[in-house]
Chain A
Amino acid sequence: MFYRENGQFKTSYRADQQIFPITQDRIAILALLVVAFVVVPSLASDYMFRAIFIPFLIFSLAAVGVNILVGYCGQISLGSGAFMAVGAYAAYNFFVRIEGMPLVVALILGGVSSMLFGIVFGLPSLRVKGLYLAVATLAAQFFADWMFLRIQWFTNYSPSGSVSVSNLQVFGFSLESPFAKYMFCLVLLAVIALLAKNLVRGAVGREWMAIRDMDVAAAVIGIRPMFAKLSAFAVSSFIVGVAGALWAFIYLGAWEPAAFSVDQSFKLLFMVIIGGMGSIMGSFFGAAFIVVLPIFLNQFLPALASVLGIEISTAGVSHAELMIFGGLIVWFLIVEPHGLAKLWSIAKQKLRLWPFPH
């Protein structure tokens, strides 16, 4: 009834090529931005900022990056954790070694380093495909683990191999309060997500999708596989690198290579698969599912148990959390193999007809 594009006539190419051609979508996105920029900051507590929203934003950013590579270009990668690590350690080195380095520049340089690293480890994609590529990108993960554990230069010769940053500032504003951290991550995410959305709608994005759907056919119609694949690796690892730097700088503050272990790579891949491959929106759903759901379960289960009058131990809660979380993953994948983003688009389709069944 409300969600219908009837009567919205496009009179120019420009109008037809907007990101959100339907008025209701534009209103919804604007409302979402208002919620993110105004409503959430005025309502959320410190805990919500620090433990829920900031990790969610950072992982959404990383998932957008991985989605470009895996979802749009079809190159399965298990090296995302390594790209995050390279972003984080490169940003750290630029930040610590160069006097007066501004934070934003350090983050971008971290992203650029990660991009170069990504291109190098994307080279196997020119020869190997699918699961074999996943195994090849795993090499990036092990290489990064080794590099940051063994080469002391990267960790500024800290005896324990753990590094830290503090007194972060952006244009003279201190990034110490949770609110400032949240806003910083949100602005970066909004800008990069917008860029990514436009990239995947444009010529480059179409090349990626053509390669994903059938690389031989794509090559026949004149798409250069090398350029398409390596550009996907470059863009993806840039975004993932920036997300890694944010994770280290903003969320952890002090970190060790284990913060970017192979677990992180798996998590990011699951986010993309559960959220929806080939959908920027899906990256957000996936990040919410993987980051927020376990924490929610961890707090909701004891509350539920106490309402029912049962007492469960801390270990019991965390076992139950893992079981329910695993169960939900299986359930979602059975119900909708194309991810949460597909559910979202089905809901939109239904909404168009609502309240009439046909």
Chain B
Amino acid sequence: MKLRKTVLAVALVAAGASVLVTGNAFAQAKEQFIPVLSYRTGPYAPNGVPWANGYVDYIKLTNARGGINSVKFSFEECETGYDTARSVECYERLKSKGASFVQPLSTGATFAITEKAPADKIPVVTVGYGRSESADGSVFKWNFPIAGTYWVAADAIMQAIAKKEGGFDKLKGKKISLVYHDSPFGKEPIPLLQERAAMHGFTLTLLPVTAPGVEQKATWLQVRQNRPDYVVLWGWGVMNSTAIKEAQATGYAREKMYGVWWAGAEPDVKDVAEGAKGYNAVTMQHGYEPNSKVVKDIQAMVHAKGQGTGPKEELGQVLYMRGAMSAMLGIEGVRAAQERFGKGKVMTGEQIRWGLENLNLTQPKLDALGFAGVMRPVSTSCTDHMGANWARIHTWDGKGWKFTSDWLQADEQILKPLVKTVAAKYAAEKKLAPRTPADCQS
């Protein structure tokens, strides 16, 4: 009798479990899965957390808006701690769940995943970071550095400096120092800055800072001796606030410092607050945007329902916006794919790759999404995986970031040949044949 009861109970539990499992499987079939690689711990967490909050909140907002043609998004976060090996593990883990696209959020991980993505057929979206030459879609079929690369950022900084001086011809004989994080991330702008230096006759001094960048006394001693006219800061995490503090200690004018967008958010300057007054940074289109419609929507449709990620006060901060915009660009790739391959269906990585390659975000579309005033239209193509090369400069006034420049467009005359040569070198090293026009059609 007892045995029979046990058997019955086991059978019931098993049946229940199988219902649950099949139910899950069914739910998954209708959902588009997004892997989220983030770093909420470790030395770079202050920058990683707002990005991840924005990213996840925007996915939640998309679901609250009813998904894309009623296809909802599911996601899973995986903590990488900004460690390349851990990022690869996360990528492998989440890939098996049917990843739509992946945003590695680290230059090291981007390099590693770039080698794996073509075989796995997963597009790699790197909004504003990653490898700059991957803008060449004819070589990097699966990489999408949408809406800007580090080269665009560096060129925008040079233009801002030239404008301040009254034209590029005034740069002759000037001294510009690049203080950079000694890693592939920090070295990215060097080819472009060297190109500009050769064109306009200014001297470029390279001052590497060993990661994580808490020790910069030697670097700033060189700045003090060398007295450069401008300092370009390619910093990251704790390195930024240290650099600004050192600049303050050395008496170097913050007005003459220009940071990359990883060095231009609230966590980078808020410790120094007044000391960082006048410090400039390039932004890849958006800045601090708490009044944009998308943030208002997130407030109303996600945070008001208690589903928000992270503190409410940080909504709209620079890196939060970065996360939201990154998620939006990936999700719009899914929408573009659906428009071609069937609305209301779950897209495969290959289909989304097509969508990202044929992205055409016009101003009305951006307005509808709530990005009016936040960013400019983006339109990608088979050869151009970047789609927009606009940037702005914003300046820290002691309390907040304020825009201090008009829209700056990176000079395609310089960018294009550079992208082409570096991409061609990569293709030659890898023995890749450039994509044929027929491949572009598909």
Interface, chain A (partner B; CB < 8 A): 45-47, 50-51, 55, 96, 149, 156, 159-162, 164-167, 176, 251-256, 258-259, 295, 298-299, 313-315, 317-319, 322
Contact = CB atoms under 8 A, between A and B. Distances in A.
A166 B114 CA distance: 11
Contact of A255 (B112, B116, B431): B112
12 contacts: A47-B96, A50-B88, A50-B92, A156-B429, A161-B184, A254-B115, A255-B112, A256-B183, A256-B184, A314-B52, A315-B41, A315-B79
B131 A51 contact: no
B78 interface: yes
Nearest to A259: B84
B246 interface: no
Contacts of A167: 430-431
B96 A46 contact: yes
A322 B41 CA distance: 10
Interface in B407-442: 422, 429-431
Nearest to B49: A315
Task: Classify the interface of chain A: helix, strand, loop or mixed.
Answer: helix
The 4 closest A-B pairs by CB, nearest first: A253-B115, A315-B40, A254-B111, A160-B184
B441 to A, nearest CB: 26
B55 to A, nearest CB: 12
Contacts of B84: 252, 255-256, 258-259
B93 interface: yes
Interface residues on B, range: 35 or more
Contacts of B92: 46-47, 50-51
Contacts of B182: 149
Most buried by B among A160, A176, A315, A322: A160
B77 A160 contact: no
A162 B115 contact: no
Contacts of B107: 160, 162
B211 interface: yes
Given A166-B115, A251-B85, A159 B422 contact: yes
A258 B181 CA distance: 12
B198 to A, nearest CB: 15
B190 interface: yes
B217 interface: no
B188 A159 contact: yes
A330 B250 CA distance: 45
B81 A318 contact: yes
Contacts of B77: 314
B108 A259 contact: yes
Contacts of B116: 253
B190 A159 contact: yes
